Amino acid sequence: MTIIAELQALLGEAHVLEPSAGLERYTRDWSREIVGQPLAVVRPADTAEVAAVLRLCHERGVPVVAQGGNTGLVHGAIPSSDGRELVVSLERMNRVRAIDRVNFSLVAEAGCILQSVNDAAEAEDRFFPLSLGARGSCQIGGTISTNAGGINVLRWGMMRELVLGLEVVLPDGRIWNGLRQLRKDNTGYDLKQLFIGAEGTLGIVTAAALKLFPRPTQIETCLLAVPSAEAAMTLFAAARRDLSDLLSAFELLLRPCIDIVLRQQPAIHEPLATQAPAYVLLEASASGFVELRPLLERFLEQSMSAGLVLDGVVAESKAQSAALWRIREDLVEAQYQEAPRHLRTDISVPLSALPAFIAAADKALGEAMPGVQSLAYGHVGDGNVHYNVMPAPGTPEGEVADLMKQCETLLYALARKFEGSISAEHGIGRSKRTAFLDQLPAIDLMLMRMIKAGLDPDDLMAKSRLL
Ligand SMILES: Cc1cc2nc3c(=O)[nH]c(=O)nc-3n(C[C@H](O)[C@H](O)[C@H](O)COP(=O)(O)OP(=O)(O)OC[C@H]3O[C@@H](n4cnc5c(N)ncnc54)[C@H](O)[C@@H]3O)c2cc1C
């Protein structure tokens, strides 16, 4: 019996898709940069089916890659191009199993779309804070496996801080049930942490118990023009202090980011009367008896008097708030529209070093690669800057990849100099593997390889990614 026939016997023919069936959406991700060729795509219905698939693959030595919403930005979920890797898509496992209002927790299957978990929490007057541009497509399993960040990290943390428990199918098909919903549990190693951010290399996440919070009933969003990145970081420190820890998002956009969105997205208009070198998209939110608007107004008055804010707008409605967020969220697509081949980075440095990092990157790129255009923006309340680079207009197609590689090498060397990270939130996948392994200390590599060898000695899970 062929492996395909055995998989069909386990899951039913309808849920084993062969390459002849036109599997395009499982073979490329949002970046459209590379295309894979899967052995087949399987779509299990539940944890027992995932376990049966992995048990079979383990016996037969078939490599496996888990796939969520395929919105990852480092090519981790794309199958290899040799036609040997089986894609396990979690898309049918999309049930919210339970919500506990008193425990402030929710249990969701791995294939739940992030937005549907946000909505399910809201329907129970609770809040699940993970939020990112891809929330309408990315899945809970994918966001756990990449330890996703997004816009609310500064207040509620990355996915790692939002997970109470996990259910995971191990590479040999055994099921680890760690779906506990405890806030406190110091009984031995915290095993769930191994699988969070492991990018599918240690097993397949099938369900998660997640932390919920009170639903914010007051949300204030404002876009502020500021004189510089330095001023933005001073403003950030003031906002953390003066907004009584109610600050929930703080995004920086340097002026070229606004320009590219205005060029590529005709529905978006110049947001403020004053054009400035930098902009901050700030959000504060509260539940309960706090009066947020007067607090924000006082903070903004004080910031304007101190010269930290040059101009600004505070959203007066949900629609206005969404329009302000569109500038930030459409920026990602606008870069593809302007130059399909460009350099994306996801660097983090200590918050206090962020303006100096941007200045050093501008200087180094200006000297080494005249003509390229940099776009610096990001979740700077977490020290996370997407310092992206567009090739100079008219750069011959054949030279772009090489040029972008040189820019990347230069920026990664700078990140190291500033004691930063080359992957703040997107992970390593395949696209950052060489750079990651180049800078990983030998002892870190040894520890990571021991963990990998302990759980997946045959190296069948997410082969050639991460390690
Ligand atoms: C417009 C846009 C904005 C984005 N903004 C952000 C942002 O602000 N912050 C951020 O952190 N990321 C961001 N991302 C990146 C991306 O959305 C996240 O990495 C997300 O967590 C990926 O989830 P996914 O379900 O699409 O996973 P996939 O892309 O399908 O997979 C990602 C990785 O996880 C593994 N995986 C998937 N599901 C499982 C599972 N059940 N068990 C084990 N391994 C699994 C895959 O093998 C792969 O290695 C953005 C992407 C886009 C397109």
- pLDDT(21) > 80: no
Q: How far apart are the CA of 121 and the centre of ligand 1, in A? A: 21
Q: In this structure, are residues 76 and 146 in contact, taking their beta carbons and an 8 Å threshold?
A: yes
Query: Please, where are the H alpha helices in 12-168?
Result: 24-27, 47-60, 114-123, 140-145, 153-156, 159-162
What value does the mean pLDDT take over residues 179-200?
A: 97
Topology match between the domains 218-338 and 347-426: yes
Chain CA centroid to CA 4, Å: 33
C-alpha pair distances (Å), 407 with each of 264, 283, 370: 24, 33, 11
- pLDDT bin (cut points 50, 70, 90) of residue 30 is confident
- Sequence-distant (≥ 6) Cβ neighbours of residue 196 within 8 angstroms: 144, 145, 147, 159, 160, 163, 166
Question: Could you identify the residue written with the tokens 């080494």?
Answer: 368
The share of the chain scoring above pLDDT 70, in percent, equals: 100
- pLDDT bin (cut points 50, 70, 90) of residue 20 is confident
Cβ-count burial of 67 within 10 angstroms (0-12 exposed, 13-18 middle, 19+ buried)?
A: buried
Cβ-count burial of 143 within 10 angstroms (0-12 exposed, 13-18 middle, 19+ buried)?
A: buried
| ∠ Cα 71 340 137 (to 5°) | 15
What was the pLDDT predicted at 458? 97
Residue bearing the bigger pLDDT, 320 or 19: 320
pLDDT tens profile 255-298 = 999 999 999 999 999 999 999 999 999 999 999 999 999 999 99
**Calpha distance 351→331 (Å, rounded):** 23
What value does the mean pLDDT take over residues 169-189?
A: 97
Q: In this structure, are residues 424 and 347 in contact, taking their beta carbons and an 8 Å threshold?
A: yes
**pTM, to two decimals:** 0.96
- pLDDT(198) > 80: yes
Q: At the topology level of CATH, where does 96-214 sit?
A: 3.30.465
- 3-state helix, strand, coil split of the chain in percent (to 5) is 40, 20, 40
pLDDT tens profile 388-397 = 999 998 899 8
- pLDDT(364) > 90: yes
Ligand 1, pocket-test mutation among 64, 71, 151, 335, most atoms within 8 A of CB = 71
* Mean pLDDT score across all residues of the chain: 96
| Sign of the alpha-carbon dihedral angle for 433, 149, 237, 306 | positive
Is any ligand 1 atom within 6 A of the Cβ of residue 129? no
- pLDDT bin (cut points 50, 70, 90) of residue 44 is very high
- pLDDT(184) > 90: yes
Type of residue at 195: F
- pLDDT bin (cut points 50, 70, 90) of residue 383 is very high
Q: In this structure, are residues 213 and 155 in contact, taking their beta carbons and an 8 Å threshold?
A: no
What value does the mean pLDDT take over residues 232-240?
A: 97
Query: Please, where are the H alpha helices in 62-212?
Result: 114-123, 140-145, 153-156, 159-162, 192-195
The share of the chain scoring above pLDDT 90, in percent, equals: 94
Q: In this structure, are residues 121 and 209 in contact, taking their beta carbons and an 8 Å threshold?
A: no
Q: What 3-state DSSP class applies to 70?
A: coil
CA atoms within 13 A on the CB side of 351: 16
- pLDDT(32) > 90: no
Q: How far apart are the CA of 12 and the centre of ligand 1, in A? A: 28
Q: At the topology level of CATH, where does 347-426 sit?
A: Alpha-Beta Plaits (3.30.70)
**Calpha distance 366→301 (Å, rounded):** 37
pLDDT tens profile 427-453 = 999 999 999 999 999 999 999 999 999
Boundaries of every domain in the chain: 3-89, 96-214, 218-338, 347-426
pLDDT tens profile 404-431 = 999 999 999 999 999 999 999 999 999 9
Type of residue at 116: S
What value does the mean pLDDT take over residues 192-212?
A: 98
pLDDT tens profile 369-380 = 989 999 999 999
Is any ligand 1 atom within 6 A of the Cβ of residue 462? yes
What was the pLDDT predicted at 33? 83
Q: At the topology level of CATH, where does 218-338 sit?
A: Alpha-Beta Plaits (3.30.70)
- pLDDT bin (cut points 50, 70, 90) of residue 234 is very high
pLDDT tens profile 62-94 = 999 999 999 999 999 999 999 999 999 999 999
What was the pLDDT predicted at 393? 87
What was the pLDDT predicted at 31? 77
What value does the mean pLDDT take over residues 195-222?
A: 98
Q: How far apart are the CA of 25 and the centre of ligand 1, in A? A: 15
Query: Please, where are the H alpha helices in 292-396?
Result: 292-305, 318-338, 354-368
Is any ligand 1 atom within 6 A of the Cβ of residue 204? yes
What atom of ligand 1 comes closest to residue 66's alpha carbon? 47
- pLDDT(244) > 90: no
Helix (H) or strand (E) holding 390: strand 384-390
Q: How far apart are the CA of 146 and the centre of ligand 1, in A? A: 6
Q: How far apart are the CA of 291 and the centre of ligand 1, in A? A: 36
Is any ligand 1 atom within 6 A of the Cβ of residue 145? yes
Q: Which CATH number fits domain 3-89: 2.40.390.10, 3.40.640.10, 3.40.1710.10, 3.30.43.10?
A: 3.30.43.10
Q: In this structure, are residues 463 and 452 in contact, taking their beta carbons and an 8 Å threshold?
A: no
